[in-house]
Amino acid sequence: MSTTAPRWTRSSYSSAQGDDCVEVAPLPSAVRVRDSKRPAGPALTLSHTAWGPFIAQAGDFGADSPASGS
């Protein structure tokens, strides 16, 4: 088991201020996702198999979707 810390990245679409961002850390066996405002908080861990459907569903949330709070 590796003890190397995950390398967290943000989308190029994230704001320059860095607020309201989702950070992603790809790992050999999974992908971790966390809220940039809470780097020490919990992270969601997804298998590589679950990652594709997760991103596809997340992309469906536009400004007018119920999930956006609009």
Q: pTM for this one?
A: 0.70
* Number of independent structural domains in the chain: 1
Give the pLDDT score at 69. 47
- Residue-number span of the structural domain to which 36 is assigned: 21-60
Confirm whether 25 is domain-assigned: yes
Contacts of 43 (CB under 8 A, 6+ apart): 25, 32, 33, 34
Instruction: Give yes or no for residue 22 having a pLDDT over 70.
Output: yes
Mean pLDDT confidence for 32-59: 91
Give the pLDDT score at 33. 94
Instruction: Give yes or no for residue 70 having a pLDDT over 80.
Output: no
Q: How many CA atoms lie within 13 A of 43 on its CB side?
A: 18
Instruction: Give yes or no for residue 4 having a pLDDT over 70.
Output: yes
Confirm whether 36 is domain-assigned: yes
Confirm whether 12 is domain-assigned: no
* DSSP 8-state class, residue 33: E
